[in-house]
């Protein structure tokens, strides 16, 4: 996935999506940022981000989603919104023995 621009719009959205780190760090990993956006973002935040990313970028974020971010409702919703229904199983965290 292409890098996200670190412009004023996205820097303002980032703290609402990934509140526990700096906007610059949050935007540095586009797949992770979009996963958090798709789970915790408001409609207004999603609309701002959609000015800079395509539906294919959202699909890529779903394909490579880190485990532990999505909830079941968001996972199902975004797969439906990106034309992928039924959705595959959600990513699972693997805890070593």
Structural domain includes residue 36:
yes
Helix (H) or strand (E) holding 4: none
Distance from C-alpha of 11 to C-alpha of 52, rounded to nearest angstrom: 12
Q: Give the mean pLDDT of 36-42.
A: 98
Structural domain includes residue 40:
yes
Model pLDDT, residue 94: 87
Structural domain includes residue 48:
yes
Q: What is the pTM of this model?
A: 0.94
Number of folded domains in the chain? Answer: 1
Structural domain includes residue 47:
yes
For the cut 90, the answer to whether the pLDDT of residue 97 exceeds it is: no
Range of the domain at 58: 8-81
Supply the mean pLDDT for the chain: 96
Cβ pair 38, 58 in contact under 8 A: yes
Q: How many CA atoms lie within 13 A of 45 on its CB side?
A: 19
* Residue from 83, 49, 43, 88 nearest 65 by CA: 88
Structural domain includes residue 1:
no
């Amino acid at each position: 996935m292409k890098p996200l621009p670190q412009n004023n719009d996205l820097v303002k959205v980032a703290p609402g999506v990934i509140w526990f780190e700096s906007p610059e760090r949050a935007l540095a990993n586009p797949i992770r940022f979009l996963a958090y956006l798709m789970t915790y973002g408001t409609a207004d935040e999603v609309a701002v981000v959609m000015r800079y990313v395509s539906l294919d970028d959202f699909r890529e974020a779903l394909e490579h989603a880190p485990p532990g971010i999505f909830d079941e409702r968001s996972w199902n919703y975004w797969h439906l919104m990106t034309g992928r229904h039924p959705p595959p199983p959600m990513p699972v965290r693997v805890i070593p023995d």
